[in-house]
Chains A and B, each alone.
Chain A
Amino acid sequence: MRNPWPWKLELRGTPSRSMTYLSPVLAVVLTMLLGALLFMALGKDPLAGLKVFLIDPFNGKRAISELLLKSVPLILCALGLAVCFRANIWNIGAEGQFTVGALFAGATLVAIDVPGHAIPGGLGLLLMIVAGILGGAFWASITAVLRDRFNANEILVSLMLTYVAQLLLMYAVNGPLKDPNGMNFPQSKVFSSEFMLPELISGTRLHIGFAVTLVLAIVMTVFMTRSFRGFSLIVGGTAPHAARYAGFSSRSALWISLLISGSFAGLAGAFEIAGPIGQLLPSVSPGYGFAAIIVAFIGRLHPVGAVLGGLVMSLLYLGGELAQSRLGLPSAITGVFQGMLLFLLLASDTLIDYRLRWKAKV
């Protein structure tokens, strides 16, 4: 293809380390600039639009706690996906794993949270969380089995399972887990407050799960950079032949990464049930599992990066909600921004291997 631009891309001798870290920043900045153009095209003041996305979510304790709250499921799912992508396992079913985690957790609470059953709040909470983790891991293990035993493409399988998971949740809230006093709405009962996660900052909705998420990010950093298992996993992803030569099993990489990813997504689902939502709804996730794919890439497939990426993505979600209430735009604008962000990140990443050179005039 002939290059129509006044510049050209020149292959660098070695990939640029600084661009690896600058590229996500560049992508975020470009997304905001394109976003401003989008606001203009929609006949809105671009500065007011950007303020809604960049400044309002930081406006006060309540706003910031909401920002951190929303980042929890995004970071958790992205932590797991980063491991998968590092191991070259294209698990894109975190959304389904999240859904099943929430379903298992919700079902546990429906079973426990009945008058007369004397299960203390702390124990119930623990059971609920374990159920969520097991649910997510179970759902991911289906993908692992089919990939391992039948060589089935994990992208398509994990995605199809997401649709199945959503239908399963729909079935549950319309059937066995439906609130008998819920005026026929497809939802479970509202769980008692004793089974809700304790709040981290009093007077806000931010719960203890945020602290757990940060701890898990540290654990995953150690796992991926310091442990033998993490090392063999990453080698398997980047250089499969070398990994085979070193005797690292690709089967165990498949299983470990998918089980980690599923557990984290399931935990995120449980946290949503016992945190901000407090009951089981068909709409437990506004696409957290898919957004987490972007978070993982923005975070350079690194746990610390996932935390930062999760905060950026949380900003987009809140910005989208505010754009709806303050600017009268559909909240689906979040999805547009998400897609743009990933496109621009992929484009910016070109600068890791190439540098821009202005073409000499002929």
Chain B
Amino acid sequence: MEQFASLIAASINAGTPLLLAALGLLINERAGVLNLGAEGMMLVAAIAGFAVGYATHSPMLGFIAGALSGMLMASLFSWLALMLATNQVATGLALSIFGTGLSAFIGQRFVGLALPSQTLSIPFLKDLPFVGPALFQQHWMSYLSLLLCAAIAWFIYRTRAGLILRAVGESPESAHALGYPVRWIRFAALLFGGACCGLAGAYLSLVYTPMWVEGLVSGHGWIALALTAFATWRPLRVLLGALLFGGVTILQFYLQGIGVTVPSQILSMLPYAATIVVLALISRNPDWIRLNMPASLGKPFKPNAS
């Protein structure tokens, strides 16, 4: 029972960066922009967050640095994909390749350093049997990401601004005709997505690992991208997906722990293999995906030459 509680706690810990990143990407994609640069944004944010957190001994400042660097990366993407209307797939790949290189370049001096691990215990609640250790001994960022999930669900479905955001993603031409600044709205969405991916990257290097190694993000950005599709672009399903994938990530350590005689490298494939399998299952019905996907996803919007 105790073990099960710690398994849940660990899954939440592993799911938090996925949830944060996927929520940001969800907002991007609801606005009709596909940013494949998530991995690159997270990598740069991971090293920026780690460097600042290490230098200032303040994880809070580390998270802020992570979010800001994510936004900076996203604005680079925005300049190309929105101003110059470049191919979003190619531009996102460029952002990922650039982020991989840049983070390795900056991170060289930080390899091998480590930060103290940190969690937050919620008084009284943490002492509850089972539920306490399972749910109430997380880093504050995990709770914040839950709040963010609820806020985004409310924003998308219950506010006027959320409606406009969806309109921009479904039909930028109509939104433009109604007088909404499509590209500015997309820019704002991308900045938000960058900040979320930045927080996710910083979480990996400040809390989850907590240290810096080259390629630390190891596919979390791509898994987050896949999550938005699994979740058919719905925030609460993103939460479920992130917890599920957090669980799969933890499962490999658990299986190793109980002495399953499978080589560790094979177990480490679990999250990637699970992504492939779920992606295949969820995409089986093309109509269903098409029905849920924001209609203008990935298509550049050119109102007129400017």
Q: Is there contact, CB below 8 Å, between A160 and B276?
A: yes
Instruction: Classify chain B's interface size.
Output: 35 or more
Q: What are the residues of chain B within 8 A of A349 when measuring CB–CB? A: 86
Closest to A287 in B: B100
Q: Is there contact, CB below 8 Å, between A153 and B80?
A: no
B:252-284 near A, CB below 8 Å:
263, 265-266, 268-269, 272-273, 275-276, 279-281, 283-284
Q: What are the residues of chain B within 8 A of A287 when measuring CB–CB? A: 100
Q: Is there contact, CB below 8 Å, between B101 and A335?
A: yes
Query: Is residue B102 contacting chain A, with contact meaning CB distance below 8 A?
Result: yes
Task: Give the interface SS of chain A, mostly helix, strand, loop or mixed.
Answer: helix
Asked whether A167 and B265 contact (CB < 8 A) given A334-B101, A346-B86, the answer is yes
Q: Is there contact, CB below 8 Å, between A156 and B91?
A: no
Closest to A290 in B: B97
Q: How far is the CA of A146 from the CA of B91 in the complex (A)?
A: 25
Within 8 Å by CB of B101, from A8, A175, A336, A354, lies A336
Count how many chain A residues have C-beta atoms less than 8 Å from C-beta atoms of the other chain: 51
A:1-27 near B, CB below 8 Å:
1, 3, 8-11
Q: What are the residues of chain B within 8 A of A256 when measuring CB–CB? A: none
Which stretch, A51-59, A217-225, A227-235, A337-345, touches the partner chain B? A337-345
Query: Is residue A157 contacting chain B, with contact meaning CB distance below 8 A?
Result: yes
Q: What are the residues of chain B within 8 A of A3 when measuring CB–CB? A: 306
Q: How far is the CA of A58 from the CA of B143 in the complex (A)?
A: 56
Q: What are the residues of chain B within 8 A of A245 when measuring CB–CB? A: none
| Binary flags per residue of A258-284, CB closer than 8 Å to B gives 1, else 0 | 000000000000000000000000000
Q: How far is the CA of A361 from the CA of B98 in the complex (A)?
A: 37
CB distance from B36 to the nearest CB of A (A): 7
Q: What are the residues of chain A within 8 A of B95 when measuring CB–CB? A: 339, 343
B:75-120 near A, CB below 8 Å:
76, 80, 82-87, 89-91, 93-95, 97-102, 104-105, 107-108
A:316-357 near B, CB below 8 Å:
330, 332-340, 342-343, 346-347, 349-350, 354
Which stretch, B18-26, B127-135, B221-229, touches the partner chain A? B221-229
Asked whether A150 and B284 contact (CB < 8 A) given A156-B226, A340-B98, the answer is yes
Q: Is there contact, CB below 8 Å, between A339 and B98?
A: yes
Q: Is there contact, CB below 8 Å, between A339 and B226?
A: no
Query: Count the A-B residue pairs with Cβ separation under 8 angstroms: how many?
Result: 157
Asked whether A339 and B305 contact (CB < 8 A) given A1-B183, A157-B279, the answer is no
Q: What are the residues of chain B within 8 A of A153 when measuring CB–CB? A: 226, 229, 279, 283
A:295-321 near B, CB below 8 Å:
297
Closest to B111 in A: A330
Query: Is residue B136 contacting chain A, with contact meaning CB distance below 8 A?
Result: no
Q: What are the residues of chain A within 8 A of B219 when measuring CB–CB? A: 159-160, 163
CB distance from A343 to the nearest CB of B (A): 5
Asked whether A332 and B105 contact (CB < 8 A) given A164-B273, A339-B94, the answer is yes
Interface centre among B40, B90, B102 (most CB of A within 10 A): B90
Query: Is residue B187 contacting chain A, with contact meaning CB distance below 8 A?
Result: yes
Q: Is there contact, CB below 8 Å, between A9 and B101?
A: no
B:56-87 near A, CB below 8 Å:
76, 80, 82-87
Q: How far is the CA of A150 from the CA of B100 in the complex (A)?
A: 30
Q: Is there contact, CB below 8 Å, between B82 and A1?
A: yes
Q: Is there contact, CB below 8 Å, between B276 and A330?
A: no
Supply 29 A–B pairs (Cβ within 8 Å), ascending by A: A1-B181, A1-B183, A1-B306, A3-B306, A9-B305, A9-B306, A150-B280, A150-B284, A153-B226, A156-B275, A159-B219, A160-B222, A160-B273, A164-B269, A168-B265, A170-B265, A293-B93, A294-B94, A336-B98, A336-B105, A339-B97, A342-B94, A342-B98, A343-B80, A343-B91, A346-B80, A346-B86, A346-B94, A350-B84
Interface residues, chain A, with chain B CB atoms under 8 Å away: 1, 3, 8-11, 90, 92, 146, 149-153, 155-157, 159-161, 163-164, 167-168, 170-171, 174-175, 287, 290-291, 293-294, 297, 330, 332-340, 342-343, 346-347, 349-350, 354
